[in-house]
Structure 1
Amino acid sequence: MVTLDEYATILRRSALDPEPSENGSLSEDEDEVQATCSEEPISSEEPTGPEEPTGTEEHTETKEPTQLEELFGSEDLAEIGAFRRFNRFLSEVDEPTDTMEAAMARTSAFTSHQRKPPTTSTGDDYLKRIERIKEDCDEYETQLLGGIVDNEKISITYSDIHVDRSILDSLENLTTLSLIHPEAFTYGVLRSNRVSGALLYGPSGTGKTLLARALSKQAGVTMLEISGADVLQKCVGEGEKIARAIFSLARKLSPCIVFIDEADSFLAKRKDDDKHHERSMINQFLREWDGMAAGNGDAAFILLATNRPYDLETAVLRRVPARFLMDIPTSEARKAILQILLKEEKLGRKADIETLAGMTTSYTGSDLKNLCVAAALTCVSEEYANAAARKAPTPKRRIIKREHFDKAMLTVKPTITTPADLSRLRMFDKRPGGF
């Protein structure tokens, strides 16, 4: 167990706290730092307003900056002063046998008081940045500008979707860890290498696109959506230029998530009878991807989505070692999804969440959303018809009953996914190379 005195001793011996010279006194430079740094205790009280004049005003002369102020700047010297006060704070604690946990708790409280809140860009700053990027785009980058998703306008967050927490944690580590802890990426294997892509695969309607948008929103990064129609061009040679433009635009938008939906539409396995320009486009895309993965500062993260992962080119799969199956929801998952969808609705006695989850076997998240919307519309139509027949006002709040869901299920069917397709998807998840 490390005592608080030992912890304070370690801090005092650090480079940030000047050590005494051989004769026991501080050097001239150290004296100047101590004189320059503020020694006043930090006050948490709010200012009460301007001070009233005392009637006698003293003439104040402008103080010339010292050599250390010119060298370090006032903000750096203020940090040194804060660190000195923190060292005194540790030395004055009355509990010398305190545990490291308690010491760290007080350390956190002190440093959080000293630390300034992080600066965040406003919506206006974001729009101005996007406008500057648009002015600097070439002909092919301009064709992709419609895929830029304004982070401020994304309404989807993690609370609006139901995804396995381990998938969220893995994706967050891959996309935002270098932004949160950049010092860990300045040496060793992470300096020039990193995982630059991930694959979301599963049946249609399982929330792959929603997850990509929520990830972009939570990470606070720009999202660039790309579809097969953006890349597949009629003219020979245009595909390679678009592939190059995807990565050049992503670098300008960095930090950025490039989301490619239905990736199998243009990144499918290469065959002997492929046309030359189609093969050249895939080769160019892979070259650009490798260049981006080299670990430079202006990099983007490639997030692929498909319901046919086994059709993807082998070289593409090699570049996405992180692969996540978005499967058809289980009974428990359907309960969670229904709770999210119906959290602001009033349900009838027989239309409880557990009953609805049992009725909707094989429904995907998208199917459940469509079912709930159809049931609510049926309820509204019925209530307005009844109110008109009785010449009475409609209820202030609708009540969705079991019969409304029964009627909705006549029209909203589960997404058709054959057992063979499901088995093939799940076998792909078990193949070597998963993340």
Structure 2
Amino acid sequence: MNIASRSSVLLVDDEKGITVVLGAYITDLGYVVDTAHSGEEAVEKLEQKPYEVVVTDVRMPGMDGVQLLRESKKRWPETAVIITTGHADMSVAVDCLRLGALDFITKPVNVEILEFALRRAIERVIMRRQLVEHTLHLESLVEQRTRELVQAERFAVMGETVAGMAHAIKNIAGGLEGALFVLEKGLELDRKDYLEQGWGMVKRDVTRVRDLTMNLLQLSRPLSLKPKQVDPSAPMCEVAELLTARMHEAGGKIIHSCVPQKPALLDEQAVHTCLMNLATNAVEAVEEAIQSGRREFGDGKVILHTECDSQHVRYLVEDNGRGLSSELFEQLEEGLVTTKDRGSGFGLMATRKAVREMGGELILESGIEGGVRAIILLPFFPAV
């Protein structure tokens, strides 16, 4: 599919000759092109119809390109802005990038560079629209399942249940942030493999949110397990992949080696949900420790490890974050307890319940450098 098809571009330059020549070239590429010869005229046209991309000169009488950029980012944030500038205006171009311009091109404009910049801008606009659509879909699912929970009255305290749902959804949202990071890098570096990987992560997490919200309706009943032959390390490897980018941005690192294990009979989705919950909590603990100054930037770490023996599958999630007191460890055994201002404790309770129904045990104890060590022990059933 030609991404230029039906995509609209507003070309802004006070020199009419430039708008004629570049406008004709951009039209030949398949875009729908309108022109404006001042910043004020450009604003009027933006008010009349949306544009995917604005290509504007920096230096113009009246409202210049920088002012137009500010106005565009404030009123039409989804519109990508590309700056054209002379060599003498390079410092201004850098300032424009800080203000949110997608790219800048020096004059005289190289048409091949312009074509690449337009294609990259349209790809970013399309990607962001699709992510917004998925986000709206997720919100709709959460609202629908919440209404069903209220009507069914399956929990005595509905407030705790709704808060717990939000906490569980946030775990997968961390994975979506990781996917967005990969997608952004794919666009920045023009790497198709990054885009494919990131988009695959988005679709996978959208599916998990849908499944998770539906499974919340079943929390008052026994977990419906669907064991199958899997590599026990696979769920942990996916969790590490989803959270690595977020941890890096926070100033920490995830220590994990994806070593294949002997195949076993496990419910991979149930195990993944438990590990994602514990690992996200660990990442948040490290983030808080770095933000509060308890840890140096770059010093935070979360260790993820999987190993098997003849009797157990052992999953380890360990952090060097804020840690917990002995009193809190005891309270965590009793039910809904949280150490986070916006937490509910529901995620840990759901994890403990799921682990028990899989025939296993969740162990919480003090970890490295005062952090928390979480261990899931599941019975090892060799694959037939």
| TM bracket, shorter-chain basis | under 0.3
Normalised to the residue count of structure 2, the TM-score between the two structures is 0.28
Q: Which has the higher strand share?
A: 2
Structure showing greater Rg: 1
Structure number with greater CO (CA < 8 Å, separation at least 6) is: 1
